Structure 1
Amino acid sequence: MKEIEGGVTAAKGFQAAAAAAGIKYQGRTDMAMIYSQTPCVAAGTFTTNVVKAAPVKWDQEIVYHHPHAQAVVCNSGIANACTGEKGYGYCKETAQAVSQALGISEDSVLVASTGVIGMQIPIDRITAGVKALVPGLDGSIAAGTEAAKAIMTTDTVKKEVAVQVQIGGQTVTVGGMCKGSGMIHPNMCTMLSFITTDACISKEMLQKALSEDIKDTYNMVSVDGDTSTNDTVLLLANGQAGNPKITEEGEDFKAFCQALNYVNTTLAKKIAGDGEGATALFEVKIIGAESKQQAVTLAKSVITSSLTKAAIYGHDANWGRILCAMGYSGAQFDPEKVDLYFESSAGKLKIIENGVSTGYNEEEATKILSQSEVTAIADVKMGCASATAWGCDLTHEYVNINADYRS
């Protein structure tokens, strides 16, 4: 497996485009489209929030009850959440506009929105945006990059990645783009992720691969503890790589899952590192756990601790906050057996051993914690299971961004 340049247009047969529809933002693109030249099987995972945006409900219907999908259209600026039957009707009107412009079934059109909750989308601008997108559809890397930029809200950087892997003697490509910066919490986050692949794989195995993989990727990300109304991950496979069709578990399915995991892990970390107001990606690894669930529970508890996140922002090796967060997680462990390390590009330092400070050098610890990517590693010495979670530091700028978000 190797990483290659690009994102959603890296796989064979996929095109993308971006357009400025003036939905909320001025002077920048705010709509994106992904299109496959041939019908795809589609898989999806969606927010666990009881309050689900209209596009989530629309996409669940398409993914779960229709055999194929061929296009995705996304707007940024307005979330089309808490908008009732009218908002759902706008999803249908959007799909109809795409259907007419591309000559495909409206039941093969997926829609997505991100932005402010509670506002009705300006459907006239959306449908005009669709008409502007279609002529710009292109399979180039640049077109995929522009689409990744168009779905940004408070994101500060575009997020995309692509990899290639050999399956059945053929080169299979998996590429993706996502957005996400705030309202990010485990069990999906205010993130939209669109993944494309030219792998030939059944709809059932595609869904299995995605559903399993989000447990260790997007579901292990937290920025602020809020689970969004719009979280959506869509995975489209058009089969153009020509590999023997994957219909069951085996070496080919394993290879595909490894490529998918690379893409999802990379995108998840990009979301965490670009958390609203963040200055550092904060990674938490729990090792030596007696079970995967115990490790996941402990890692999530630390990554969501506001006090720990504030300490990371201050480059303060306040390890008591980490041990405290582990202690209230609900997972049972012996705090007097825990070893804790801080690690970054500046080095690795053992902070506590068997629950007690090692007498570490504070200046060295501060240097390690001053990097743009920081890892805390906690060994609970109970077994061989492990889990990794990603988040970011908590800064003054996070409050500023969210205090002024609607204005």
Structure 2
Amino acid sequence: MPVGYSQLPELLPIAGVRLASVAAGIRYQQRNDLVLVELAGASQCAAVFTRNAFCAAPVLIAKQHLAQTSPRYLLINSGNANAGTGEVGMADARATCSALADTAGCRREQVLPFSTGVIGQRLPVERIEAALPGALGGLSEEGWKDAAQAIMTTDTVAKGVSKTLEVDGSMISITGIAKGAGMIRPDMATMLAFIASDAKLEAGALTRSLSRAAEASFNRITVDGDTSTNDACVLIATGTSRSPLITVEHPAYAAFCDAVSEVCEHLAQLIVRDAEGATKFVTIQVEGGYEPQECLDVAYTIAHSPLVKTALFASDPNWGRILAAVGRAGLADLDIEKIRIFLGGVCIVRDGGMAAEYREQDGQLIMGQDEILIRVQLGRGEACERIWTCDLSEEYVRINAEYRT
């Protein structure tokens, strides 16, 4: 069960976005595994993608199509990543786009494909093609919940959130869904996120908003340190609300960006809360760095340490593992006498070693909680960064050992 999250909240429909979820039999039996998203004709769309060199065929095709025209449809399948499939995978991704374009009456370039699931297996194009008429016939503005469930792989719960924002007397809505539980260390900007608003946005303003939001959310989470071949995050503005056009200079732009960032942060945290086998939701905050990157280097070194992660699972306040991770993060001229490390509000390291006032029972109390804050003060500058991660349990090993069986 996810840490601190039980079920999908009510998701607001977005005028100009219709969704349908159907069972195509791609990998899973007797469950929906194909999602079709239809966008209003005037919609603007921005996206960020994985930087994995072996990025999946649908990622390459989606990038190409997005550079050519505004999309009318998103086609999303779970159960098969169509990654590591070479030219055959590219042809298969194009074939699904062409099949949808022919059926829906649009250009192939107006379809963006997305896939998630097992790497290295060929996409069952014929099953997807056979399911398209039913998907087109089932499109509805109320389809967000079903879509959030259909894109799941090893997720245990569907993930979504909605927000509203007033702009010049008009209400705009933002709804987002995401999937992801393992192979999580996005670098974009096996996670997918789809966010839509009925706001009117200039294309450049939409792109900047997504880049900023993704950097502070999806690019600040890690489950296992593995960057997927298929990561993608899409932000859509349908322009169907009565609000005015929001440009970068518009007074409401900052508020819109903040709202999108809140949605992305919420979805990103849900991915970590539902991480494969996770029992702890962990915030790692590193303060006092020369510049942000060295704070991130320290944070990720802690987050990716198997020794730290297993201690978290065991609720063991083995502070020496955290200290060692900070020391090997690669920071030049690190003055260990200035470093302080905290578990929650409890100082565990000061003046180069265990804090004089630290008591094991105090650390144990923090480590026994479901949500834990690890805070590191480097004492060498003003930079500060924060990431979110989880523990490492036997269940994570079991899930990934049996993933293809």
Q: Do these two structures clear the TM 0.5 threshold for a shared fold by scoring above it? A: yes
- 1:367 aligned to 365, 371, 374, which one? 365
Matches within 5 A, 1:119-198: 119-140=121-142, 143-188=143-188, 190-198=190-198
Supply the distance in 2 between the matched residues of 1:25 and 1:212 (Cα, whole angstroms): 35
**Offset of residue 59 of structure 1:** 0.7
Partner of 2:78: 76
Partner of 2:314: 314
Instruction: Verify: 1:18 aligned to 2:18, yes or no.
Output: no
Aligned AA (1:353): R
For structure 1, which segment, 185-194 or 314-323, has the greater mean C-alpha deviation from structure 2 after superposition? 185-194
Partner of 1:97: 99
Supply the distance in 2 between the matched residues of 1:186 and 1:75 (Cα, whole angstroms): 19
**Offset of residue 43 of structure 1:** 0.9
Aligned AA (1:138): S
Matches within 5 A, 1:371-390: 371-390=369-388
Partner of 2:341: 340
Partner of 1:245: 245
Q: Is the 8 A contact 1:39 1:70 kept in 2?
A: no
Aligned AA (2:99): A
- 1:60 aligned to 42, 58, 63, which one? 63
Instruction: Verify: 1:293 aligned to 2:309, yes or no.
Output: no
Q: Is the 8 A contact 2:21 2:147 kept in 1?
A: yes
Supply the distance in 2 between the matched residues of 1:226 and 1:309 (Cα, whole angstroms): 15
Aligned AA (1:10): P
Q: Is the 8 A contact 2:189 2:211 kept in 1?
A: no
Give the match's secondary structure for 1:387.
strand
* Cα displacement string for residues 257-286 of structure 1 (whole angstroms, at most 9, x for unaligned residues): 101110111111111121111111121011
Partner of 2:3: none
Q: TM-score, normalised by structure 1?
A: 0.92
Q: TM-score, normalised by structure 2?
A: 0.92
Residues 64/355 of structure 1: CA separation in 2 closer, same or farther (3 Å cut) = farther
**Offset of residue 98 of structure 1:** 2.5
Supply the distance in 2 between the matched residues of 1:102 and 1:355 (Cα, whole angstroms): 66
Q: Is the 8 A contact 1:189 1:228 kept in 2?
A: no
How many residues in Structure 1 have an aligned counterpart in Structure 2?
Answer: 396
Q: Is the 8 A contact 1:183 1:189 kept in 2?
A: no
* Cα displacement string for residues 56-96 of structure 1 (whole angstroms, at most 9, x for unaligned residues): 00110122232x11221111111111222222222222222
Partner of 1:305: 305
**Offset of residue 305 of structure 1:** 1.6
* Cα displacement string for residues 270-316 of structure 1 (whole angstroms, at most 9, x for unaligned residues): 11121111111121011233322222222222112221111111111
For structure 1, which segment, 154-163 or 88-97, has the greater mean C-alpha deviation from structure 2 after superposition? 88-97
In structure 2, the gaps of 5 or more residues are: 1-7
Percent identical: 37
Aligned AA (1:121): L
Partner of 2:226: 226
Aligned AA (1:399): V
Instruction: Verify: 1:201 aligned to 2:201, yes or no.
Output: yes
Supply the distance in 2 between the matched residues of 1:159 and 1:5 (Cα, whole angstroms): 9
Aligned AA (1:303): A
Give the match's secondary structure for 1:183.
coil
Instruction: Verify: 1:353 aligned to 2:350, yes or no.
Output: yes
Residues 225/189 of structure 1: CA separation in 2 closer, same or farther (3 Å cut) = farther
**Offset of residue 218 of structure 1:** 0.9
Supply the distance in 2 between the matched residues of 1:139 and 1:294 (Cα, whole angstroms): 44
Residues 203/189 of structure 1: CA separation in 2 closer, same or farther (3 Å cut) = closer
Supply the distance in 2 between the matched residues of 1:229 and 1:186 (Cα, whole angstroms): 10
**Offset of residue 179 of structure 1:** 0.8
Q: Is the 8 A contact 1:188 1:227 kept in 2?
A: no
Aligned AA (1:92): R
Supply the distance in 2 between the matched residues of 1:336 and 1:102 (Cα, whole angstroms): 66
Give the match's secondary structure for 1:297.
helix
Supply the distance in 2 between the matched residues of 1:354 and 1:12 (Cα, whole angstroms): 58
CA RMSD of aligned residues (A): 2.0
For structure 1, which segment, 233-242 or 167-176, has the greater mean C-alpha deviation from structure 2 after superposition? 167-176
